[in-house]
Amino acid sequence: MFRLASITLAIALAAFPSAAQVAATQHVEKEIAVTDATGAKKIERVAAETVAPGEEVIYSLRFENEATEPAEALVLVMPVPNEISYVEGSVSGDGAKVSFSADGGQTYVARGRLTVVEAGAERPAKSDEITHIRWTLEDALGVGDKGEVSFRGVLK
């Protein structure tokens, strides 16, 4: 079993006074099957305190505008831990443009355009080479509005 530590997250905000009052919390969870009192089975998310190699986890960032005015140009960035391989197509975040990095967060592009250089030749980046995921909110985050962005990964 492997103990996952919370990853560092970054929130880049435009130079608006209200933007500094966007609160964000990161969650690392996994899904488990549970049976309720009626015998019905359902899937629940629980904190991923320990995981085994090959097990899938969900990294999410929940945020809220605690300011007295809308937060403009909100950008959220989460690194993908070295021990995690990104699950293709698993990124979510309504109302956000998503881009990816394979160079430690130096540059970001759409997933289909993400490349790495290997032996002097450029090739498409593999899912386990993604180092960061960035969400750029397309609209202002209204006063009191909340949101969530996430991605899934598998412990290597």
Span 78-107, pLDDT tens digits: 999 999 999 999 999 989 999 999 999 999
Residue 152 and residue 89 in contact, taking contact as beta carbons nearer than 8 Å = no
| Cα separation, 124 vs 132, whole angstroms | 16
Compute mean pLDDT per 10 residues along the chain, 156 residues long, and list them. 54 46 90 92 93 95 91 91 96 95 97 96 97 95 94 96
- The total of structural domains in the chain comes to 1
Q: Which residue has the tokens 């309504």?
A: 94
Q: Which two tokens stand for residue 76?
A: 């959220």
Return the pLDDT at 73: 85
Question: How much is the mean pLDDT over the chain?
Answer: 88
Return the pLDDT at 72: 86
Residue 29 and residue 45 in contact, taking contact as beta carbons nearer than 8 Å = yes
CATH code, domain carrying 38: 2.60.40
- The parent domain of residue 64 ranges over 2-155
Q: Which residue has the tokens 């991605």?
A: 151
Residue 89 DSSP one-character state: T
Return the pLDDT at 3: 58
Instruction: Name the E strands within the chain.
Output: 2-3, 10-12, 22-35, 41-47, 50-51, 56-65, 75-79, 84-86, 96-101, 115-118, 121-124, 132-137, 146-155
Residue 55 dihedral angles phi and psi, to the nearest 5°: -85, 140
3-class secondary structure, 44: strand
Q: Which residues pair with 45 in a beta bridge?
A: 31
